[in-house]
Amino acid sequence: MTINKYLIIVLLALSNYISAFAQSEKALPTSLPTPSGRAYQLLTPQDTLMVTMDEDGQKFVYHTIKSGQTLYSISKYYNVSLDLLKYHNPQVTKVALSKGQSLKLPIPARVIKRLRDSTFNARLNVPICYQVRKGETVYRIARMHFKMTPALFRLHNPQIKNDILSVGDTVLIGWISVYGLTDVPPKYKGEYAPIWEASDRLKDQYLVNSLNRRMSEENGIAAWKHKDKTPVKAKLYCLHRTAPLNSIVKITNPMNKQTIFAKVLGRIPNAGYDRATIVVLSTDAARGLGALDPKFYVKLTYLK
């Protein structure tokens, strides 16, 4: 009799748990009201975004188009300019958008929520998943790709036993807001944050322009007025001998691996600069490259 009594209690508890779970799943809305100040809600918690990356570590997600979605709404949702969206998806300039079509969109790694803390609400977040590639380990995916601890990766993926991964396995990395990336936290902090933000904007335009222009590379000396004490204003411009005026150049300091994008505003004057000087930088451009001396070695790429 006692055994039957306990069995009944256990069954009732299990029944209540299943009922509560079903109600919570049923209560999960397919759409949510969009708060003021938000752009659009293109995804729901029932959706899943697959994330991948290029050889430089830039993260991308693949968005499947639903009825009524436009390039404009998608660009706003992912906080990506229309030009950059078209750069990564050249097919959209040739054919009309269609339901079920997939678009590749860059996202900052920092927007991926990796922790389900006390403020996390499953109804307001979309899962981000990753497909395991050849040679990848739990440590590599967690630490190197997504800057999370292996322990947190294991917590997200209890189905992975003894850290054994197979090519093609789908693993959970984190989540993004159902309301998109319209309130992404600042990428940069500190005095030079405006410089990096301005460089990122120029980089987007450089990538777009690279679609129909030929790339030219050169190495040499960069010069700047290193005694200039002007405040940071994110004025990223330079003088160059041959790059088209008003075009954007990519400049890298190989000593610290820093890269800056700057606009060409004029030619290098013959007076005061020898032929080894390939670019004259504005103060902010030199600051962004971590320059310490009035002249330093750089690698430069421009589009013809």
- pLDDT score, position 93: 82
- pLDDT score, position 159: 94
Q: In this model, does residue 52 exceed pLDDT 90?
A: yes
Domain shared by 151 and 239, yes or no: no
Domain shared by 149 and 112, yes or no: yes
What does the alpha-carbon distance between residue 159 and residue 51 come to, in Å, rounded to a whole number?
19
pTM of the model: 0.65
How many Å is the Cα radius of gyration of the chain? 25
- Cα 300 to its chain centre, rounded Å, is 24
Residue 28 lies in a domain: no
Domain shared by 211 and 145, yes or no: no
Domain shared by 96 and 123, yes or no: yes
What's the rounded mean pLDDT across residues 263-269?
A: 96
Q: How many domains does the chain have?
A: 2
What's the rounded mean pLDDT across residues 215-237?
A: 89
Residue 183 lies in a domain: no
Give the domain CATH number at 245: 2.40.40.10
Residue 113 lies in a domain: yes
- State which H helix or E strand residue 24 sits in: helix 2-27
What is the three-class DSSP state of 42? coil
- pLDDT score, position 186: 74
Domain shared by 199 and 169, yes or no: no
- Tokens representing 194 are 């405006």
- Tokens representing 157 are 């993926």
Which regions of 160-214 does DSSP assign to beta strands (E)? 170-177
Give the domain CATH number at 104: 3.10.350.10
- State which H helix or E strand residue 258 sits in: strand 258-266
Domain boundary among 114, 147, 177: 177
- pLDDT score, position 56: 75
- Is residue 38 very low, low, confident or very high in pLDDT (cuts 50, 70, 90)? low
Domain of 240 in residue numbering reads as 193-303
Domain shared by 151 and 262, yes or no: no
More confident residue, 218 or 84: 218
What's the rounded mean pLDDT across residues 146-162?
A: 92
- pLDDT score, position 30: 46
